[in-house]
Structure 1
Amino acid sequence: MKKYLTLILVFTMFTSCGSQEIVSTSNVNTQDQSNSNLKPKLVVGIVVDQMRYDYLTRFESKFGEGGFKRMMREGFNCKNNHFNYVPTYTGPGHASVYTGTTPKYHGIISNNWYDKDLKTSVYCAQDDNVSSVGTEGNAGKMSPHRMLTISFADENRLFTQMRGKTIGIAIKDRGAILPAGHTANAAYWFHGMDEGMWITSTFYREDLPEWVKTFNASRSVDSYFKVWDTFMPIESYTESGNDLNDFERGFTGKSTATFPYDLASLKSENGGYDILKTTAYGNSMTLDFALAALKGEALGQDNDTDVLAVSFSSTDYVGHNFGVNSKEVEDTYIRLDRDLETLFNTLDDYVGKGEYTVFLTADHGAVNVPAYLESVNIPAGYLDYNDRKEQFTKFLLDTYGTLDIVENVSNNQVFLNKAKLKELGLDLHEVEQAFVDEQISYKNIAKVYTATTMNSTNFTTGIEALLQNGFNQKRSGDVIVVDDIAHIAYSRKGSTHGSGLNYDTHVPLLFFGAGIKHGETFEKTVIPDIAPTISALLGISFPNGATGQPLGFVID
């Protein structure tokens, strides 16, 4: 009897534990199923052009509570986020964020590159087969046709049978077009000069919608021809260098690159409306238009997820003009933070809290002005391309007796004339290697690689892996050059980007809103992870060329 009772007890305990486990698993599955059905009504993708990661931490004390800090407080902060390819330029950056892959596959290998078939330089968004809409000039002859893969916005359009809308917006055409993808309802960009209009192309539509016509007719952009002074007292801007220094270009017509800037009086000598691009107000103009698009297109107002891709381009123009350490850059980010707060508050009211998802990242970072780095004894400098050209020309003539075996030199790449090599009986691989052996001896060249190496060796770490991820076999050159750290081909005033070094690759990645956990990580993430993460959140297919991985720890 005792033995029998013991068996009953054991059986009861076993079935009790088993039933608890089943209930627990059932609850998890139910919760997962519930979450999977709660898709955001709107995904807002924000790319801040030329935003280094350390701007988040450096300027944090000057930010309000509703912009960057809200994203970090309520959302998820990936603190070790990097580009995993070079070159780090605007076109490749925007394409990589939204396609989930690198130039190796999406084909946007630079902003401009030498086309080996057309035998000329092409622009990443240029399309002579379409017409401008909203201007009589050629500024609208643009489309994403050179991007070989699709974006997560394209996948969302396919998933929703084209009911989910996609709108791309940026001052720069490439910043609006490449994120929006091939199936977008529209992409809009700012045409400055003497017009100051938001335009598009016939790739998307034959005429501007009424809300865009109304916005342009309002001439709200004219309100930004005012004095650009610091948002806070300038003496409080202790996170940047002296306002008066030798490392900033400024504007024509003003003797010093110092606050304040009277934009109304400076516009005639600085491209008319184009001067606004190079101020903090360019981001505010972009916000104004994005909010008009939100309501004009009724985004996030039904159960089919819409995508609003917004790129804030003026941070890049300001960085190029004034440099990483300038008061102007600090003020631009302080003002952008307030613009983000306005955007999020509007989304709360119009779409609804918990009904939208936002991610924020950058298309590249930037190097500190090398002249400034030199002044504080940090190795840096400037590249002399004329000297390189003279040395290389002499090498070609001495070795081959002709310059014609080189078809083009651009983007730190050498393109060989294959027909001429064949005519002269020269072996392609031997010529490639001869170029490597020659150029590695030149001043301020750190590394040189051949296309053969990129095609035959699988690199997983270091600059070699980044080069390989940026190398497109059909579009890239035959020899690739890597410059010394913090050495740029640029003026001694202002700054630029493009390398595979941390100052160019380390950029923010913030998620917040519907379906996003609260947290942070130092685990390394890479730019191509963004599109698969959003795709996973939406329950749609990954973009067709995606090589990144969904960040499961971000999704709730």
Structure 2
Amino acid sequence: MLKFNSKNTPSKLRRGLLAGFATFALSSHCYTALAANLSQGPQITKAPKLILVLVVDGLPNEQVQRYRHQFGEGGFKRLLEQGAWFGNAHQAHGITVTAVGHSAVLTGAYPYQHGIIGNNWFDPNTSTSVYCTEDRQHTYIGTETKSSDGTSPANLKVSTVGDELRYATGNRSKVLTVSGKDRGAILLAGKTGTAYMLMKKTGAFASSTYYMNQHPAWHTAFHASKPQDRFYGKQWTNVLPEHAYHDDAHDDVVAPANTTSSKRLPYTYDSASGKPDAEYYEKLFTGPYVDELTLDFANAAIDGEKLGNNPTGATDILGVSLSSHDYVNHTWGPESKMSHDHLQRLDRLLAKFLNNVDKKVGLDNTLVVLTADHGFANVPEFSQSIKRDANRLDGNKMSAALNQHLFEKFGVEKLIRKWSAPYFFFDYSKVESKGITRTELENTAARFILNYQGVASTYTRTQFEQGQVPNDRISRLVQRAWHKQLSGDLMVVVKPYWYFGSTNSGTSHGTPYTYDTNVPLIFMGKPWFKAGAYSNYAEVMDIAPTLSHLLRLRLPSGSEGRVLTETLK
């Protein structure tokens, strides 16, 4: 403690010190008052019995807004009217793909922390390809498992809201997730939840030995009648009158003849064998029926696990990732009639599901969150038709051209160890032995790639490591996506409306542009949220801290989002 003798201290200094202590005392008083006011801010009136997290794979926010006038009662319309929804919400990182987006939802973390940097990536230490949720120590239950199949969250480096909830309740809370994709379920479930994913070979949902040794009785009962086979021979046709689609892109643009996307509505679900098989089950993903099956399974889980009616009174979490919109948009683009119709069908499925939740748990007891893992670019041919500079960029051809340029510059062959979009990995040892620095290699490669058709910008390992990345929006997003131990040495960002691909049709996602980052974000629950449209900037990363605040939980370990206090009652 600071001490001074008033008799021996000059009067001017003494007056200054006394004034300082008075100011400190006043500041302390103000801080105490501020803390008291903050403690009287939004307070949770009751804990939800169920937190329902809905993730629509590959749903751009603009589609929700563009087609909202056609939604029926009880689905998206209920969420938009009764919920707090953000029109300016984003997946705020630079590599907008399924695994990264799903990781963000309940961790509140960016890729540089949570460690899921893509659906697949190249491990520079082992020189092998890594799938985001692969774990060779575990297998699917009752189903053939390949070495690269997704069976556990081993690669996820941080905790989720579900993990923190189970920790806080002594594992009394249940966390269960379901998806058509393994990564959609596993990365929502976190380390301590339970994930179920649809098997493409059998059309059945399965978990893995990471979670349990055998499936529960309700799971067996659900599959007893083979519900996945009931769609065989069915056609996907318009749910709305034909004139409702007049503003959509023409089929000849998004599904031209002699391309992989040439099929149009009506779309028949069958197989060459004439009976349900792996070909048929895989077909189901492109259209409304996998989503219907997923929601049916989620309903069975609510009953089987008593989700939202936990005998201990603890809050449960149910995560449902709906995979099919991603497949539809990849095939035909978000501007297509097919995508438009699929969203309308999904709306009707969500209405039915939410009505069931209301009957079994009560929507006043349920906190609902709806978002998406990423948006989508338009099909390049459509973009070209409205005078945009758009196309597909073949990364393998670009890699070959760069390798040749580096050979001509340095006289060393195969300086690229691997191209794994959007990264180049270099073999630094080959140039260092010749007295060429890493920075020289990176800069030479970056200059060449910047002049390559379809490329907007590049970022080198040195830039990332030394904090030399520019302070603009795109650069901030790619910085968050780059992981020091896992990511590559040169990152490539394509021009707007371009994407990495080598097919002759369809489209994709993965860029830091707003059509890929802007996704729906809606919270619904009368006891907790003020309904309305919010224009504030928000991120998917804000879901985790907002839920943690309401549940009075410790924040997930990598969470960087903010609590969306403007929505709270």
State the AA in 1 paired with 2:103: A
Q: Which runs of 5+ in 1 are unaligned?
A: 1-24
| Pairs within 5 Å for 1:51-62 | 51-62=59-70
- The structural deviation recorded for 1:452 is 1.3
Aligned to 2:335: 325
- The structural deviation recorded for 1:83 is 1.8
Q: Distance in 2 between matches of 1:409 and 1:29?
A: 51
CA displacement 1:71-101 (0-9 Å, x = unmatched)? 1111101110012111000000000111101
Aligned to 1:17: none
CA displacement 1:309-359 (0-9 Å, x = unmatched)? 110000001111111111111111111111111121111111123101000
| Pairs within 5 Å for 1:90-105 | 90-105=98-113
Matching of residue 477 in structure 1 with residue 488 in structure 2: yes
| Pairs within 5 Å for 1:176-325 | 176-184=185-193, 186-193=194-201, 195-225=202-232, 226-242=234-250, 244-248=251-255, 256-264=262-270, 271-302=279-310, 303-325=313-335
CA displacement 1:192-228 (0-9 Å, x = unmatched)? 23x1111111110011111111112221111122111
SS of the equivalent of 1:288 reads helix
Over 3 Å counting, the alpha-carbon distance change for 1:255 and 1:377 in structure 2 is closer
- The structural deviation recorded for 1:401 is 2.1
Over 3 Å counting, the alpha-carbon distance change for 1:385 and 1:29 in structure 2 is closer
Q: Distance in 1 between matches of 2:545 and 2:533?
A: 19
- The structural deviation recorded for 1:248 is 2.3
Aligned to 1:8: none
State the AA in 2 paired with 1:116: P
Q: Distance in 2 between matches of 1:173 and 1:153?
A: 18
| Contact 1:44 1:358 (8 Å CA) reproduced | yes
CA displacement 1:529-550 (0-9 Å, x = unmatched)? 1111111111111100101111
State the AA in 1 paired with 2:223: N
CA-based RMSD: 2.4
TM-score normalized with structure 1 length: 0.90
Q: Distance in 2 between matches of 1:414 and 1:174?
A: 24
Aligned to 2:157: 148
TM-score normalized with structure 2 length: 0.88
SS of the equivalent of 2:344 reads helix
Q: Distance in 2 between matches of 1:312 and 1:122?
A: 24
Aligned to 1:377: 387
SS of the equivalent of 2:424 reads strand
State the AA in 1 paired with 2:485: K
| Contact 1:459 1:468 (8 Å CA) reproduced | no
Over 3 Å counting, the alpha-carbon distance change for 1:459 and 1:520 in structure 2 is farther
Over 3 Å counting, the alpha-carbon distance change for 1:28 and 1:390 in structure 2 is closer
- The structural deviation recorded for 1:265 is 5.3
Give the count of matched residue pairs. Answer: 526
CA displacement 1:373-422 (0-9 Å, x = unmatched)? 11222221222435423421221211222234321111121112244344
Q: Distance in 2 between matches of 1:459 and 1:343?
A: 46
State the AA in 1 paired with 2:534: T
- The structural deviation recorded for 1:250 is 9.5
Q: Distance in 2 between matches of 1:255 and 1:440?
A: 31
Aligned to 2:561: 548
Aligned to 1:466: 477
| Pairs within 5 Å for 1:366-405 | 366-405=376-415
Q: Distance in 2 between matches of 1:92 and 1:108?
A: 6
| Contact 2:459 2:490 (8 Å CA) reproduced | yes
- The structural deviation recorded for 1:140 is 5.9
- The structural deviation recorded for 1:141 is 5.2
| Contact 1:450 1:479 (8 Å CA) reproduced | yes
Aligned to 2:30: none
Aligned to 2:184: 175
CA displacement 1:239-271 (0-9 Å, x = unmatched)? 4233x313227999x995222122135786982
Aligned to 2:368: 358
SS of the equivalent of 2:176 reads strand
- The structural deviation recorded for 1:137 is 3.3
- The structural deviation recorded for 1:36 is 2.6
Q: Distance in 1 between matches of 2:494 and 2:519?
A: 21
| Contact 1:46 1:358 (8 Å CA) reproduced | yes
Matching of residue 487 in structure 1 with residue 487 in structure 2: no
Aligned to 1:4: none
Q: Distance in 2 between matches of 1:411 and 1:265?
A: 33
Q: Distance in 2 between matches of 1:533 and 1:335?
A: 30
Over 3 Å counting, the alpha-carbon distance change for 1:257 and 1:421 in structure 2 is same
> Any runs of at least 4 consecutive aligned residues in structure 1 with deviations exceeding 4 A, and if so which?
27-33, 249-252, 265-270
Specify which of 522, 531, 552 is matched with residue 518 of structure 1: 531
Matching of residue 438 in structure 1 with residue 448 in structure 2: yes
| Contact 2:421 2:500 (8 Å CA) reproduced | no
| Contact 1:134 1:197 (8 Å CA) reproduced | no
State the AA in 2 paired with 1:169: V
Over 3 Å counting, the alpha-carbon distance change for 1:98 and 1:421 in structure 2 is farther
| Contact 1:249 1:321 (8 Å CA) reproduced | no
Q: Distance in 1 between matches of 2:203 and 2:486?
A: 35
| Contact 1:130 1:141 (8 Å CA) reproduced | no
Q: Distance in 2 between matches of 1:249 and 1:539?
A: 53
| Contact 1:200 1:208 (8 Å CA) reproduced | yes
- The structural deviation recorded for 1:40 is 0.3
Over 3 Å counting, the alpha-carbon distance change for 1:255 and 1:156 in structure 2 is closer
Q: Distance in 2 between matches of 1:526 and 1:141?
A: 27
- The structural deviation recorded for 1:505 is 0.7
Matching of residue 505 in structure 1 with residue 513 in structure 2: no
Q: Distance in 2 between matches of 1:530 and 1:141?
A: 25
- The structural deviation recorded for 1:444 is 1.6
Q: Distance in 2 between matches of 1:350 and 1:508?
A: 26
Specify which of 480, 490, 508 is matched with residue 496 of structure 1: 508
State the AA in 1 paired with 2:514: N
Q: Percent same amino acid among aligned pairs?
A: 35
| Contact 1:249 1:494 (8 Å CA) reproduced | no
Q: Which runs of 5+ in 2 are unaligned?
A: 1-33
